[in-house]
Amino acid sequence: MTPKPKITKKPKKSINVGIIGLGAYLPSKVMTNLDLEKLVDTSDEWIRTRTGISERRIACKEEMTSDLAANAARMAIKNAKLEPADIDLIILATITPDMLFPATSCFVQAKLGAVNAACFDINAACSGFIHELTIAQQFIESGMYKNILVIGAELLSRFVDWKDRSTCVLFGDGAGAAVIAPVKRGGLLSSYIGADGTKSRLLMFPAGGSVTPASHETVTQGLHFLKMEGNEVFKNAVRVMTNASAQALSRAGLTTEDIDCVIPHQANIRIIEAVIQRVGIPAEKVFVNVEKYGNMSAASAIVALFEAVKEGRVKKGDKVLMVAFGSGFVWGSCVIEW
């Protein structure tokens, strides 16, 4: 019998994976709470006190999700000092794609001229960016790809019911992008993702899929619009984001004191306040921009990181805790050393 060849495990070379370029695109049209007062039975006071939102951006008629994505991506690629042809993979996170298929990332690839990039979309709702970072890290550590463009892009204004005051005041349009690549030091120190599919019906587009295909009836009943049990989502968001924050910290071997900036998903200021109070992080360490953009689902976290860096709230060497929660339910958290 021929002896089996001895398998010697190669020691895993640890590669640091980090963000080498960030970009954002926010449509220029601003819709304020006062504008919304003219559309539905609401008030600026209710929206600000219950959500922290003052205004949100609305894409123009000609803009599609892939346009918002491509604009943010161009900036990220430029900031990474790369060309579109240097990108090996595009991952796009969205719940508001150009079409059910093909993948919106393919439209973005064509718009960028990123001819060498493989493409796929993910649906991880508001946690899209953390899921993307986690996926990108695997591809880079395995040596398969070097430069990965991750994008969160949403055009929620086309998917909310402008007659439903309980949802239409909450959301906005926008996109953020990041180039992920090997870095010399720092980068992603930990990440954690999870899901609870038993709660999937608390936040969804009920019609337009295989369960309830689009029909005259579904349109008449408005079932193609976003539906949410706000209260339940709120409670789950606070509980899950608190736990997820602790997970990312312990996986990185860090405590709250080591964290310089927290970038939570931007859905509601009350959720953010409840989470950071439970995690035990002072409010001044938390970056918030929900007042300007509302909830942009997958775009929120990247746009917030982009702005935090631009405003000097995140500096070289800082440790950043990111945490997000969304429809699915899905969630994710990570610690990045900038």
Residues annotated as catalytic (active site), given as ranges: 126, 265, 295
Of residues 20 and 203, the one with the C-beta less far from ligand UT7: 203
The angle subtended at Cα 45 by Cα 158 and Cα 285, nearest 5°, is 85
Residue closer to ligand UT7, measured from CB, 215 or 231: 231
Check residue 231 for interaction with ligand UT7 (CB under 6 A): yes
The CA-atom distances, in angstroms, between 135 and each of 92, 131, 132, 233 are 11, 6, 5, 26
Write the secondary structure of 256-290 as one string of H (helix), E (strand) and C (coil). HHHCCEEEECCCCHHHHHHHHHHHCCCHHHECCCH
Does 123 sit near ligand UT7 (CB under 6 A)?
no
Does residue 155 contact residue 64 with C-beta atoms inside 8 Å? yes
- Residue 159 makes CB contacts below 8 A (sequence gap 6+) with 95, 96, 205, 224, 225, 226
Name, in order, each residue with C-beta under 8 angstroms of 133's C-beta and a sequence gap of 6 or more: 150, 178, 180, 188, 191, 334
The residue among 73 and 301 lying less far from ligand UT7, judged by its C-beta, is 301
- Report if residue 51 touches ligand UT7, rule: CB under 6 A: yes
Q: Is 42 in the site for ligand UT7 (CB under 6 A)?
A: yes
Site for ligand UT7 in 293-312 (CB under 6 A): 295
Shorter beta-carbon distance to ligand UT7: residue 186 or 230 = 230
- 234 binding ligand UT7? (CB under 6 A): yes
| Spatial distance between the Cα atoms of 275 and 107, rounded to a whole number of angstroms | 37
Closest CB 267 distance from ligand UT7, rounded Å: 4
- The residue number whose beta carbon is nearest to ligand UT7 equals 230
The Cα–Cα gap between 243 and 236 comes to 11
Residue placing its CB nearer to ligand UT7 in the complex, 73 or 237:
237
Residue 49 found at the interface with ligand UT7 (CB under 6 A): no
Which residue in 233, 244, 246, 322 binds ligand UT7 (CB under 6 A)? 233
Among 15, 30, 48, 50, contact with ligand UT7 (rule: CB under 6 A): 50
Window 63-122: residues binding ligand UT7 (CB under 6 A): none
33 binds ligand UT7 (CB under 6 A): no
How far is the C-alpha of 166 from the C-alpha of 229, rounded, in Å?
9
Question: In the chain, how long is the greatest CA-to-CA distance?
Answer: 84
| Residue numbers 136-165 binding ligand UT7 by CB under 6 A | 165
> CA distances (Å), 127 to each of 194, 222, 223, 336, in order?
10, 26, 24, 16
* 275 touches ligand UT7 (CB under 6 A): no
Size of the site for ligand UT7 (CB under 6 A): 22
Could you list the residues that contact ligand UT7 (CB under 6 A)? 42, 46-47, 50-51, 126, 165-166, 169, 203, 230-231, 233-234, 237, 265, 267-268, 271, 295, 325-326
